[in-house]
Amino acid sequence: MRVGFVGLGAMGAHMARNLHRAGLLTAVWNRTASKAQALAAELGVIAGANLKQLAANSDAVVSCVSADADLLEVTRGVAADLASGSLMIDCSTVGAETARQAAGLLEAAGVEFLDCPVSGGVEGARDGTLAIMAGGSDAAFTRAMPILSALGRTITHFGPTGSGQAAKATNQIMCAGIIESIAEAMAFARAQGLPLEKLIDTLGKGAGSSWYFVHRAPNMARGEFPAGFRVRLHAKDLKICHDMAARFGVALPVVERMLAEYAELIARGFGDEDVSAAFRLKAELFERTNIMSAPPRPPHRDA
């Protein structure tokens, strides 16, 4: 099977390399062409001049782009040039409804669509150990397995188109709560004067540990938040969760709180930092408290 890859960002470049290792990658395309040209030269594959050319050289297209509108733009870009019977696998995180729209754009051309959002961070993309949540027909899922196996270790088919994205939205709610609690705990630990590296090593083996604690608490200890999973991308995901819950008339407290914190970080120019930058706001809580609880200054006496 000839596989073309679209979207060579923090996740996509690693995923394309893993498809190459599995002997499946034939072409890459990226909106910023220089990234596609560099990776194509490194791997010895075609850098598509445009989406049409990429589609014409592919039996399956895998995409990993930022957000809903981007996926629909890419889908329109490949729809006319993918042969009937080919496959599009989208690994971006978008709304379940957007996944169904993308599937609709391809249906008339006889192209099957699978929503396959992923979890496991940039490290999981690099190591080919992503958890993949698929939505689409049984037949499309079976055909996609050689591709998905090159990208991830845990691959689950949840049901029809959109159900992969519903599973991913569930994951993003969990991540929001975990990131918030780790940021809060680390700010607390720093205020206690604890040795943070030692703390991470110990608590990382305890009951409160998680992937985020082990992999991102070190960012908080260093006060550096390189992307990673960008704040603006998780904010985008939580907006999707907000909209999906709102259809039930529900506002989820964890989602609403993290949306507000991310909005604050984005407003201050930290939207492209890793989500562990949530620590910035939690650390400030203690800085403010320190100012307010500083011992009162002695009364001023004239000499």
Q: Which residues bind ligand NAP (CB under 6 A)?
A: 7-12, 30-32, 35, 64-66, 70, 73-74, 92-93, 118-119, 121-122, 229, 233, 237
CA distance 139 to 143: 6
The total of other beta-carbon atoms located within 10 Å of residue 264's CB is: 14
C-alpha distances in Å from residue 217, one per residue of 182, 229, 249, 258 = 7, 14, 34, 17
Q: How far is the CB of 275 from ligand NAP (least distance, A)?
A: 8
Q: Which of 122, 140, 9 is nearest to 63 (CA)?
A: 9
Among candidate residues 35, 168, 236, 282, the one labeled active-site is 168
C-alpha distances in Å from residue 131, one per residue of 96, 125, 175, 242, 244 = 18, 9, 14, 23, 22
Q: How far is the CB of 69 from ligand NAP (least distance, A)?
A: 7
Nearer to ligand NAP by Cβ, of 114 and 189: the residue is 114
Q: How far is the CB of 280 from ligand NAP (least distance, A)?
A: 19
Q: How far is the CB of 7 from ligand NAP (least distance, A)?
A: 4
Nearer to ligand NAP by Cβ, of 116 and 203: the residue is 116
Nearer to ligand NAP by Cβ, of 132 and 186: the residue is 132
Say if CB 10 and CB 227 are below 8 A apart.
yes
Amino acid identity for residue 280 in this structure:
R
Say if CB 60 and CB 38 are below 8 A apart.
no
Q: How far is the CB of 49 from ligand NAP (least distance, A)?
A: 14
Nearer to ligand NAP by Cβ, of 136 and 228: the residue is 228
Residue 52 annotated as catalytic: no
Q: Which of 13, 81, 34, 73 is nearest to 53 (CA)?
A: 81
Q: What angle do CA 94, 97, 101 make, to 5 degrees?
A: 95
Mark out the alpha helices in the chain (DSSP H runs): 12-21, 33-43, 51-56, 68-79, 96-107, 121-127, 138-151, 163-191, 196-203, 211-222, 231-246, 253-267, 278-292
Residue whose Cβ sits closest to ligand NAP: 9
Q: Which of 57, 56, 34 is nearest to 45 (CA)?
A: 57
Nearer to ligand NAP by Cβ, of 167 and 189: the residue is 167
Q: Active-site residue numbers? A: 168
